[in-house]
């Protein structure tokens, strides 16, 4: 193995990339605007949830309840008639429709425990659940407060003091921006190495390298260090200037430790890119493979929905995916301020996954390149 | 100008006045005025990079006119209307073997494609295909894919494709470059026969072979973007007082360029025999049933120049690849310097210089960077490196262009660079695969002077393949290869003597004809059919059925037949690449399963632990409430605050509960007491769920304790999915996402691939309109996507148990519109981007995130903010997601969903229209 070959070939990769202005524009876009847009898409877990209220009571209490729904959690409630409710929910205009029955205030005051009906559009996934929790709380709170004013009751004897750590306001953008950076890192590193390998195969330049005193190991290592470096720099820039700067997300832990984790992640994903580049025989096939790989990596890594919500089997299978560990270590380091003593299992997992993928690609490299075209 | 004056005596097929063309700063054509006479064979001759190809592409209308006027067939080619009018009368065959053909399509399918492009009916196409293939001898191979044809056959097929619409003007750009002598001779015989049948047809040819140019009626000699002289071959010979056209051309060049030019001197090889450097014994390569190389044995001695001749695809390249270790032979052995060839032997590789047929240069690196990279890879020491690079640059005449990029150089210079790269480490042996193919005579001579110097002075062993006879004559020994076997090996003079022929070319054609005749029956061996069926003649054009002017005008804008030709093409290419179609179908099913089961709204098994400072039955009762629920899993109790902090930081706990001392006592006495709860907020969505669960459980516990329920009850009705089953919510949302990602990625490469591979020229020079081109390419992908869709809803209804409850017809109609929009997005990327990588990257960026995050799958679009909200509102997935959920879960039909159909109906023409605007009908 010649270290100089690895260095020289890597510099060649960097120069090639510098000659493709469109790719550079896309890289810059994906680490700045794309991150910013995604992070600011949903500022809170529950944001501007659309709600309609059927007020059949028209009492001070029902007015009080209506007045308790306001932005940013909820859109100002739309007051509708019972007849309109079904059509509006069918059309997806509102996620929630709250029906306050006639005589509600009277029944509450009389202690008859009247029921309010809350209709939830269950197709709306997460909003349906977090939103209905909030609505229950708000309605109960308003009813209690109303009664207290009337009767002067004491607070409930056992209070639950809820505190959210690491992100007190549950600002979704904090986590969202990091997940976005992670997604871009994964996608870009796979495309840069995999598609570039296929382009070299289609243009015959890789074949030329193989008759020179250069080993496949050197060629692969050169691709990995150079492309990983590009993505790592982009990732660091994005984290410091977009996430910490523009989005003002407070980072608890060490950025350097996070970047070290990112470097290990890149080792795994660039190896995966090369592996896909040896599996696909043409660029269109690579495009298909990319979608097949990216969707699970993005959706099931724990960045989009919590890992706890996945079936046991999926959770176990996804342990083989580098993104799962990267998302976990990013959460731990950046938000919980964890150190290496905490995240070492993730680091180790990334190394193991990377070594396996690298070994697989190395085994396929010479065999498949010779079969091309 | 001489050209204009002379040409004006004859009726002209094309008139050029002050035509100029520049690529960036490089001037390819410099104020050329020229009339090309009609009804003749006009030849363009000159070195590489003098503007021959540029001139032809301007005349063909493939490239946009920059300066001056180009009039072809009586109108200006700058006018789109005129181009449209005359393009059915022009045929253009671009440079490069089979560049405008589709490799995976068979001969018949390629011809059929071009016939449809010119609007021919089925019967007409069949008749013409039969005629053309019979007269060119391609008929026996009609079902063979174009990619598997030899170079000569590819060019014949290219010619057939050009002739299918009976053009009045046939433009051929170096049609015989890289083709063996026998096929070349057959090609020109064919052109002669065709012209005999259609005397009015004008032919314009660019060529690098001077011996071919001698057959033409009228010649245009070009140099550095200018016309040097025009006239018939005898006139040019007379004017320069020379005997051959090659000399005549050199005589026409300006004085300073002529200086120092002399014929290549062949230094005889010294008698003393060197050791054997290259040795092959019984080398055989099989690809499946196909025997590419059949027991080839050869021995090449030190300092020898060994020539390898044969038609394209006869196994020369494969043999060379086995010698370099790129391919593992199926049988036999190869030895270099007495050592068996081993792909892992780095030491041998250091002594070998290899130049492959495709220029294996990095087009993104400058000449200097290319040279330095290769020198470093061959471990040339850093201290001698600058000297070495300067030395080869000097030797190969590259010193002036060190900072240029290879693609901006003419072919001849690029070829020299390739050789310089192969030589920079001073190898003892060179393997050169057709190093001079496509290089003009002057550059070729320079090249050979260098090679002879290397062999004689530095005793470098050279193994070279070529198509040029005068190059073959310069070799010490040559082998003729055909259909994977070496027919004969000897010195050039010896071969001519043995055969009793006048020239080496005649000797070779003799050997080839013998070989072909002998193997005519064997399918694997037959490359060419030397005897075209004599009876078939190219019948003159039968006029298409008369149509009214109105119809013709309408046809000019949109002709379904032309569109379908691209549909058929794309569908065939998709069928020939079954892996891609399978990936698309299996992939969407696989992803439906993964996402359907993987994403769930139920968050369970959240870890929690308690810091219980009370340790009474009441506090334990509270804990048991949490631990007993299916949402939480209890971890060992927390010891103190430090422990709590550490475990939360490590992510071991999603929830920590602190019960204060005296809790049980205070509760019993009705005193106010506070339970503390900490939630890990690093993943907000999970934290939100935890908060909901804890609050719910706390109030339940309270209610159970006090025995009194609240003041008012809230009954929650989960509509459309009363049992809150995850699958029911997820499946209808995942289908639209997959139906975007996969079809968009399929379509994303369709146009940009033609750009990279060169067949886009068919759009430039045939009557097909941009709309026909785009819609034609889109249709097969819409079809595949709909198949995908049907599979997915079938799976949803059966395996997942989520059948559509509403109007299935509405769902299908929505899917048709949606897949059209999805593939149109791919097409838009494909027309916008210039490289396949950028198209893949761009499509991934434009689809993955907006579809999964901004289209309402997880958070409703109405709750989004900023740019994401804007994207979400106009994004097609948002609207099909509404249709999908409406029909699957809400029992809706057409009448309930007009506002979801409308945006899709608008998106399709907008996306296709944008693509059409971005797609160029001419190269600029």
Q: B710 in contact with A at a CB cutoff of 8 Å?
A: yes
Q: Which segments of B344-499 does DSSP mark as H helices, in order?
A: 346-349, 367-377, 385-395, 411-423, 441-457, 469-472, 492-499
For an interface test with A, which of B622, B859, B899 has the most A Cβ atoms less than 10 Å from its Cβ?
B859
DSSP state of A331: I
Q: Do B682 and A166 touch (CB under 8 A)?
A: yes
Residue of B nearest to A30 (CA): B845
Q: What is the pLDDT of residues B463-510, one digit of tens each?
A: 998 888 888 888 999 998 888 888 888 888 888 898 888 888 888 888
Q: Which residue has the tokens 């044809």?
A: B149
Report whether B467 contacts B181 (CB < 8 A). Answer: yes
Higher pLDDT, A334 or B249: A334
Structure tokens at B905: 């109906």
pLDDT given at position B529: 39
pLDDT given at position B790: 95
A219 occurs within a structural domain? yes
Q: What is the pLDDT of residues B680-695, one digit of tens each?
A: 888 887 888 888 888 8
Q: Do A174 and B684 touch (CB under 8 A)?
A: yes
3-class secondary-structure state, position A106: helix
Give me the residue from A43, A144, A292 closest to B587, CB to CB.
A292
The pLDDT of residue B440 is above 90 = no
Q: Do A118 and B687 touch (CB under 8 A)?
A: no
Sequence spans of domains, chain B: 2-99+168-255, 276-351+427-518, 560-594+725-918, 606-706
Number of domains present in the structure of chain A: 2
> Which of B177-191, B247-261, B867-881 is predicted least confidently?
B247-261
Residue A280 and residue A304 in one domain: yes
A160 occurs within a structural domain? no
How long, in residues, is chain A? 373
Fold of B606-706: abc type-2 transporter like fold (3.40.1710)
In DSSP terms, B325 is beta-bridged to: none
Q: What is the pLDDT of residues A65-102, one digit of tens each?
A: 999 998 888 889 999 999 898 888 888 888 899 999 99
Q: Do A37 and B871 touch (CB under 8 A)?
A: yes
Interface of A with B in 243-302 (CB under 8 A): 281-292, 294-296, 298-300, 302
Q: What is the pLDDT of residues A325-357, one digit of tens each?
A: 999 999 889 988 888 988 999 999 999 999 999
Residue A55 and residue A38 in one domain: no
Q: What is the pLDDT of residues B275-328, one digit of tens each?
A: 888 888 988 988 777 788 888 898 888 889 999 888 767 788 888 888 888 788
Mean per-residue pLDDT, B166-195? 84
Closest approach of B882 to chain A, Cα-based (Å)? 8
Final residue in a domain of this structure, among A151, A180, A196: A151
pLDDT given at position A270: 96
CA gap B395, B391 in Å, rounded: 6
Residues with Cβ within 8 Å of residue A319, at least 6 apart in sequence: A325, A349
Question: How much helix, strand and coil, in percent to the nearest 5, is found in chain B?
Answer: 50, 15, 30
Q: Do B681 and A331 touch (CB under 8 A)?
A: no
Report whether A90 contacts B719 (CB < 8 A). Answer: no
> Which of A342-346, B339-343, B804-808, B867-871 is predicted least confidently?
B339-343
Q: Which residue has the tokens 């009813």?
A: A143
In DSSP terms, B176 is beta-bridged to: none
What pTM value is reported for the model?
0.85
Mean per-residue pLDDT, B412-416? 77
The pLDDT of residue B533 is above 80 = no
Q: How many CB atoms lie within 10 A of CB B338?
A: 9
Residue A9 and residue A119 in one domain: no
Residues with Cβ within 8 Å of residue B475, at least 6 apart in sequence: B305, B306, B307, B464, B492
CA gap B349, A210 in Å, rounded: 9
> Which of A251-255, B61-65, B696-700 is predicted least confidently?
B696-700
The overall average pLDDT reported for chain B is 84
In DSSP terms, A117 is beta-bridged to: A99, B715
Interface of B with A in 55-84 (CB under 8 A): none
Report whether A82 contacts A52 (CB < 8 A). Answer: no
Q: Do B599 and A47 touch (CB under 8 A)?
A: no
Q: Do B683 and A40 touch (CB under 8 A)?
A: no
CA gap B240, B255 in Å, rounded: 13
Residue A36 and residue A77 in one domain: no
DSSP state of B539: P
pLDDT band with cut points at 50, 70 and 90 for residue B56: very high
Nearest to B849 by CA among A30, A239, A235, A194: A30
For residue B651, the chain A residues in CB contact (below 8 A) are 328, 331-332, 336, 338, 342
CA gap B531, B524 in Å, rounded: 18
Residue A202 and residue A147 in one domain: no
Q: Report the C-alpha dihedral over residues B872, B873, B878, B879, rounded to 10 degrees.
A: -170
Structure tokens at B252: 């026409």
Mean per-residue pLDDT, B534-550? 43
Q: Is the dihedral of CA B426, B486, B136, B505 positive or negative?
A: positive
Mean per-residue pLDDT, B875-901? 91
Residue A10 and residue A138 in one domain: no
Domains B2-99+168-255 and B276-351+427-518 share a fold: yes
CA gap B537, A309 in Å, rounded: 74
CATH of domain B276-351+427-518: 3.40.50.300
3-class secondary-structure state, position B380: coil
pLDDT given at position A137: 82
Percentage of chain B exceeding pLDDT 70: 91
pLDDT given at position B544: 43
Q: Report the C-alpha dihedral over residues B759, B763, B764, B769, rounded to 10 degrees.
A: 180
Q: Do B326 and A204 touch (CB under 8 A)?
A: no
For residue B850, the chain A residues in CB contact (below 8 A) are none
Closest approach of A220 to chain B, Cα-based (Å)? 15
CATH assignment of the domain containing A95: 3.40.1710.10
pLDDT given at position B183: 79
Residue B49, classified by CB atoms within 10 Å of its CB into exposed (0-12), middle (13-18) or buried (19+), is buried
CA gap B362, B336 in Å, rounded: 27
Q: How far lies B117's CA from each of B558, B561, B606, in Å?
A: 12, 7, 63
CA gap B678, B658 in Å, rounded: 8
Return the axis-axis angle of helices B122-136 and B151-163, rounded to nearest 10°.
Answer: 140
A158 occurs within a structural domain? no
Our measurement of the distance from residue B139's CA atom to the centroid of its chain's CA atoms, rounded to an integer in Å, reads 29
pLDDT given at position B378: 86
pLDDT given at position A1: 66
Give me the residue from B356, B671, B676 closest to A204, CB to CB.
B356
The pLDDT of residue B546 is above 50 = no
Residue A38 and residue A55 in one domain: no
Q: Do B580 and A291 touch (CB under 8 A)?
A: no
What are the φ/ψ torsions at residue B918 (nearest 5 degrees)? -75, -25
Residue A206 and residue A308 in one domain: yes
Q: B345 in contact with A at a CB cutoff of 8 Å?
A: no
Q: A164 in contact with B at a CB cutoff of 8 Å?
A: yes
Q: Do A144 and B711 touch (CB under 8 A)?
A: yes
CA gap B370, B360 in Å, rounded: 10
Report whether B170 contacts B7 (CB < 8 A). Answer: no
Q: What is the pLDDT of residues B569-614, one digit of tens each?
A: 999 988 888 888 888 899 999 999 888 888 776 777 889 999 999 8
Final residue in a domain of this structure, among A122, A151, A180: A151
What are the φ/ψ torsions at residue B535 (nearest 5 degrees)? -70, -35
Closest approach of B501 to chain A, Cα-based (Å)? 38
Q: How many CB atoms lie within 10 A of CB B543?
A: 7
Strand order from edge to edge, sheet including B485-490: B352-355, B429-432, B461-465, B305-310, B477-482, B485-490
Query: What does R_g of chain A's alpha carbons equal in angstroms?
Result: 27
Q: Do A292 and B354 touch (CB under 8 A)?
A: no
A162 occurs within a structural domain? no
Higher pLDDT, A233 or B408: A233
Structure tokens at B652: 């071991």
Q: Is the dihedral of CA B918, B921, B923, B924 positive or negative?
A: negative
Percentage of chain B exceeding pLDDT 90: 26
For an interface test with B, which of A158, A171, A216 has the most B Cβ atoms less than 10 Å from its Cβ?
A158
Final residue in a domain of this structure, among A151, A185, A219: A151
CA gap B43, B245 in Å, rounded: 12
A131 occurs within a structural domain? yes
The pLDDT of residue B542 is above 80 = no
Q: Is the peptide bond before B394 cis (omega within 30 degrees of 0)?
A: no
The pLDDT of residue B10 is above 70 = no
Residue A198 and residue A117 in one domain: no
Query: What does R_g of chain B's alpha carbons equal in angstroms?
Result: 37
The pLDDT of residue B829 is above 90 = yes
The pLDDT of residue B831 is above 60 = yes
Ranges of chain A with pLDDT below 50: 372-373
Residue of A nearest to B674 (CA): A159
Q: What is the pLDDT of residues B116-152, one digit of tens each?
A: 888 888 898 999 999 888 878 888 888 888 887 877 7
How many CA atoms are closer than 13 Å to the CA of B375, on its beta-carbon side? 23
pLDDT band with cut points at 50, 70 and 90 for residue B706: low
DSSP letters, A209-233, are: HHTSS--HHHHHHHHHHHHHHHHHH
Structure tokens at A10: 């890597």
Mean per-residue pLDDT, B57-75? 90
Q: B326 in contact with A at a CB cutoff of 8 Å?
A: yes
Residues with Cβ within 8 Å of residue B303, at least 6 apart in sequence: B269, B270, B274, B455, B456, B459, B460, B461
Q: How far lies A69's CA from each of B118, B441, B862, in Å?
A: 66, 85, 16
Residue A249 and residue A121 in one domain: no
Tell how strand B202-206 and strand B218-223 pair up: unpaired
Return the axis-axis angle of helices A283-299 and A255-279, rounded to nearest 10°.
Answer: 140
Is it true that domain B2-99+168-255 has CATH number 3.40.50.300?
A: yes
Q: A56 in contact with B at a CB cutoff of 8 Å?
A: no
Residue A298 and residue A364 in one domain: yes
Nearest to B719 by CA among A118, A135, A78: A118
Tell me whether 0.90 is exceeded by the ipTM: no
Residue B67, classified by CB atoms within 10 Å of its CB into exposed (0-12), middle (13-18) or buried (19+), is middle
CA gap A145, A137 in Å, rounded: 12
Residue A26 and residue A75 in one domain: no
Q: B354 in contact with A at a CB cutoff of 8 Å?
A: yes
CA gap B550, A106 in Å, rounded: 79
Q: Which domain holds residue A127?
A: 51-151
CA angle B207, B209, B213 (to 5 degrees): 70
Nearest to A322 by CA among A354, A294, A362: A354
CA gap A225, A223 in Å, rounded: 6
């Amino acid at each position: 193995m010649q270290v100089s070959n690895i260095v020289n070939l890597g510099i060649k990769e960097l120069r090639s990339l510098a000659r493709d202005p469109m790719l550079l524009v896309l890289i810059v876009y994906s680490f700045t605007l794309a991150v910013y847009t995604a992070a600011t898409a949903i500022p809170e877990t529950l944001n501007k949830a659309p709600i309609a209220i059927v007020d059949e009571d028209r009492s001070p209490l029902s007015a009080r309840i209506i007045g308790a729904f306001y932005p940013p959690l909820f859109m100002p409630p739309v007051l509708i008639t019972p007849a309109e409710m079904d059509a509006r929910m069918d059309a997806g205009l509102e996620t929630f429709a709250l029906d306050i029955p006639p005589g509600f205030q009277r029944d509450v005051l009389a202690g008859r425990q009247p029921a309010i009906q809350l209709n939830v559009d269950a197709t709306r996934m997460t909003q349906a659940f977090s939103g209905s929790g909030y609505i229950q709380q708000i309605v109960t709170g308003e009813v209690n407060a109303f009664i207290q004013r009337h009767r002067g009751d004491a607070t409930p004897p056992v209070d639950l003091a809820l505190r959210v750590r690491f992100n007190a306001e549950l600002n979704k953008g904090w986590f969202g921006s990091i997940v976005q950076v992670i997604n871009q890192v994964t996608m870009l590193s796979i495309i840069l190495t995999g598609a570039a390998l296929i382009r070299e195969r289609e243009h015959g330049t890789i074949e030329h390298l193989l008759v020179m005193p250069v080993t496949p190991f050197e060629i692969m290592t050169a691709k990995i260090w150079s492309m990983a470096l590009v993505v790592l720099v982009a990732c660091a820039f994005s984290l410091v200037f977009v996430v910490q700067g523009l989005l003002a997300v407070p980072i608890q832990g060490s950025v350097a430790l996070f970047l070290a984790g990112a470097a290990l992640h890149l080792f795994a994903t660039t190896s995966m890119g090369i592996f896909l580049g040896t599996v696909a025989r043409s660029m269109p096939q690579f495009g298909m493979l990319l979608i097949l790989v990216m969707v699970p990596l993005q959706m099931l890594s724990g960045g989009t929905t919590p890992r706890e919500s996945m079936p046991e089997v999926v959770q176990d299978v996804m342990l083989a995916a580098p993104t799962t560990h990267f998302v976990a270590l990013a959460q731990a380091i950046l938000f919980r301020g964890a150190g290496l003593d905490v995240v070492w299992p993730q680091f180790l997992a990334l190394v193991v996954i990377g070594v396996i993928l690298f070994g697989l690609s190395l085994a396929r490299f010479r065999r498949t390149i010779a079969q091309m075209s | 100008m001489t050209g204009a004056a002379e040409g004006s005596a004859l009726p002209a097929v094309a008139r050029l006045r002050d035509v100029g063309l520049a690529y960036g700063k490089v001037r390819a054509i410099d104020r050329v005025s020229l009339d090309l006479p009609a009804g003749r064979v006009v030849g363009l001759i000159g070195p590489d990079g003098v503007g021959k190809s540029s001139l032809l592409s301007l005349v063909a209308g493939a490239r946009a006119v920059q300066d001056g006027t180009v009039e072809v067939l009586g109108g200006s080619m700058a006018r789109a209307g005129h181009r449209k009018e005359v393009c059915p009368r022009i045929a253009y065959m671009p440079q490069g073997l089979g560049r405008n053909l589709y490799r995976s399509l068979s001969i018949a399918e390629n011809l059929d494609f071009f016939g449809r492009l010119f609007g021919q009916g089925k019967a007409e196409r069949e008749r013409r295909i039969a005629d053309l293939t019979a007269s060119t001898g391609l008929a026996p191979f009609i079902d063979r894919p174009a990619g598997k044809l030899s170079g000569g056959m590819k060019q014949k097929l290219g010619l057939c494709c050009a002739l299918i619409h009976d053009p009045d003007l046939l433009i051929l750009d170096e049609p015989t470059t890289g083709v063996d002598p026998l096929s070349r001779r057959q090609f020109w015989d064919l052109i002669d026969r065709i012209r005999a049948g259609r005397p009015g047809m004008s032919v314009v040819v660019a060529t690098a072979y001077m011996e071919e140019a001698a057959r033409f009626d009228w010649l245009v000699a070009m140099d550095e973007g200018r016309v040097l002289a025009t006239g018939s071959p005898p006139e040019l010979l007379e004017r320069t007082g020379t005997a051959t056209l090659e000399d005549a051309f050199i005589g026409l060049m300006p004085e300073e360029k002529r200086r120092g030019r002399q014929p290549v001197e062949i230094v005889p090889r010294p008698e003393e025999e060197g050791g054997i450097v290259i040795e092959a014994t019984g080398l055989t390569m099989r690809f499946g049933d196909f025997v590419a190389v059949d027991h080839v044995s050869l021995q090449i001695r030190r300092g020898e120049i060994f020539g390898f001749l044969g038609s394209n695809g006869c196994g020369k390249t494969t043999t060379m690849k086995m010698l370099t270790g790129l391919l593992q032979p199926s049988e036999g052995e190869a030895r270099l310097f007495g050592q068996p060839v081993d792909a892992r032997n780095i030491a041998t590789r250091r002594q070998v210089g290899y130049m492959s047929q495709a220029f294996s240069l990095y087009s993104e690196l400058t000449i200097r960077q290319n040279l330095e990279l290769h020198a470093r890879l061959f471990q040339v020491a850093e201290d001698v490196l600058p000297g070495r690079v300067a030395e080869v640059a000097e030797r190969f005449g590259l010193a002036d262009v060190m900072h240029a990029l290879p693609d901006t150089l003419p072919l001849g210079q690029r070829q020299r660079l390739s050789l310089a790269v192969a030589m920079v480490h001073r190898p003892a042996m060179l393997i050169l695969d057709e190093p001079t193919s496509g290089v003009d005579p002057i550059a070729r001579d320079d090249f050979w002077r260098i090679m002879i110097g290397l062999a004689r002075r530095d005793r470098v062993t050279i193994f070279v393949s070529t198509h040029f006879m005068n190059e073959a004559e310069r070799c010490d020994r040559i082998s003729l290869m055909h259909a994977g076997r070496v027919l004969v090996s000897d010195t050039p003079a010896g071969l001519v003597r043995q055969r009793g022929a006048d020239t080496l070319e005649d000797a070779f054609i003799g050997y080839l004809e013998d070989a072909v005749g002998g193997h005519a029956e064997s399918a694997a061996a037959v490359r060419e059919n030397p005897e075209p069926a004599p009876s078939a003649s190219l019948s003159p054009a039968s006029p298409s059925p008369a149509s009214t002017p109105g119809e013709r005008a309408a046809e000019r804008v949109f002709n379904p037949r032309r569109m379908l030709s691209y549909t058929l093409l794309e569908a065939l290419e998709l069928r020939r690449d079954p892996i891609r179609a399978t990936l698309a179908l299996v992939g969407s099913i696989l992803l439906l399963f993964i996402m359907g089961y993987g994403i769930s709204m139920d968050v369970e098994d959240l870890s929690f632990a308690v810091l219980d400072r009370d340790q009474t039955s009441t506090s334990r009762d509270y804990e048991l409430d949490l631990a007993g629920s299916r949402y939480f899993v209890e971890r060992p109790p927390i010891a103190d605050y430090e422990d709590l902090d550490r475990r939360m930081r490590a992510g071991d706990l999603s929830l920590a509960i602190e019960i204060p001392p005296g809790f049980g006592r205070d509760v019993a006495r009705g005193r106010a007491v506070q339970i503390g709860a900490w939630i890990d907020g690093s993943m907000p969505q999970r934290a939100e769920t935890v908060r909901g669960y804890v609050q719910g459980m706390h109030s339940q516990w309270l209610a159970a304790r006090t025995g009194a329920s609240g003041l008012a009850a809230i009954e929650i009705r989960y509509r459309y999915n009363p049992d809150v089953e995850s699958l029911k919510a997820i499946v209808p949302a995942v289908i639209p996402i997959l139906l975007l990602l996969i079809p968009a990625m399929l379509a994303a490469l369709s146009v940009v691939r033609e750009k990279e591979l060169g067949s886009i020229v068919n759009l430039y020079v045939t009557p097909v309109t941009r709309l026909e081109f785009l819609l034609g390419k889109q249709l097969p992908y819409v079809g595949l996507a709909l198949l995908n869709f049907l599979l997915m809803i079938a799976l949803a209804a059966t395996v997942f148990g989520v059948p559509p409850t509403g109007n299935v017809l509405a769902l299908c109609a929505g899917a048709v519109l949606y897949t059209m929009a999805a593939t149109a997005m791919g097409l838009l990327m494909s027309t916008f981007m210039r490289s396949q990588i950028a198209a893949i990257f761009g499509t991934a960026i434009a689809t993955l995130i907006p579809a999964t995050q901004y289209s309402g799958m997880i958070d409703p679009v109405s709750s989004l903010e900023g740019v994401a909200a804007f994207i979400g509102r106009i994004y097609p997935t948002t609207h099909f997601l509404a249709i999908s959920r409406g029909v699957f879960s809400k029992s809706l039909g057409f009448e309930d969903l007009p506002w979801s159909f409308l945006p899709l109906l608008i998106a399709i023409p907008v996306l296709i229209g944008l693509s059409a605007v971005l797609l160029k009908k001419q190269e600029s």
